[in-house]
Amino acid sequence: MRPNKRDELVRKALDVFYREGFNATGMDKLVAETGISKTSMYKHFRTKEDIILAVLRLRDERFRNWFCRRIEEIAEGPKDRLLAIFDVLQEWFETPEFKGCMFIKAVSEFQDPENPIHIQSATHKQMLLEYVEDLATQAGLQNPAALARQLMLLKEGAIVLAVMQGNAEAGRDAKAAATSLIAAA
């Protein structure tokens, strides 16, 4: 299998796992959905866990690049970018393909904190936390680490409510709360 076929497999597997979940998607389903034989799949990925990790790395790269770039496109200055986080979330929630956060799903299915899938998911969230803390520091706000944690709680809660309750206003509601937190900082 050529390297671009491996990448194609990871891209297609991302779509399947995002839509169906990790544990609910067996190797037979991946083979059927990707059009790649089990033999070829196992040539590049010894286990299903290896495929999941590759998918999570791709999702992390795609999501963080889009998320941070979009924040910077719609807001100037670090303080405005802290609020733009929630505008960008709202945009994501309103897309037809929105099915929640792949990393929240992964942690709920792989709860052992020592599991590589859990670790990969936690790393994604940690990198986003660091991005938010950096914005809060650049904005000169008091206690940027605590503010970043609080904003991440709002962000993650908005994602969960958007998917679990179909809450079309979750991003806007979180932004209203974030506005108060930022003003107090």
- Cα 66–Cα 69–Cα 11 angle in degrees, nearest 5: 20
Decide if 8 is inside a domain: no
CATH number for the domain harbouring residue 113? 1.10.357.10
Does residue 33 belong to any structural domain of this protein? no
- Whether 22 is covered by a domain: the verdict is no
How far is it between the farthest Cα atoms of the chain? Answer: 58
Would residue 156 count as lying in a domain? yes
Divide the 185 residues of the chain into consecutive groups of 10 and give the mean pLDDT of each group: 76 94 92 86 90 98 97 97 98 94 97 98 98 98 98 98 90 97 95
For residue 21, tell me if it sits in a domain.
no
Do the domain assignments include residue 11? no
Task: Yes or no: say if 20 and 29 are a contact pair by the CB < 8 Å rule.
Answer: yes
The Cα 59–Cα 64 span in angstroms is 8
Query: Up-side HSE of residue 8: CA atoms within 13 Å toward CB?
Result: 11
User: Containing domain of residue 79, as a range?
Assistant: 55-184
Rounded Cα–Cα distance for residues 73 and 10 (Å): 28
DSSP code, position 45: -
Model confidence pTM above 0.95: no
- Report yes or no on 37 lying in a domain: no
Does the residue 78 lie in any domain?
A: yes
**pLDDT number for residue 95:** 94
Give CA–CA dist 157/62, Å, rounded: 21
pLDDT at 3: 55
Question: Mind giving me the DSSP string for 99-141?
Answer: ---HHHHHHHH---TTSHHHHHHHHHHHHHHHHHHHHHHHTT-
CB atoms within 10 A of CB 105: 18
Residues 21 and 105: beta-carbon distance below 8 Å: yes
**Number of domains the chain contains:** 1
- The pLDDT, as a whole number, for residue 4 is 80
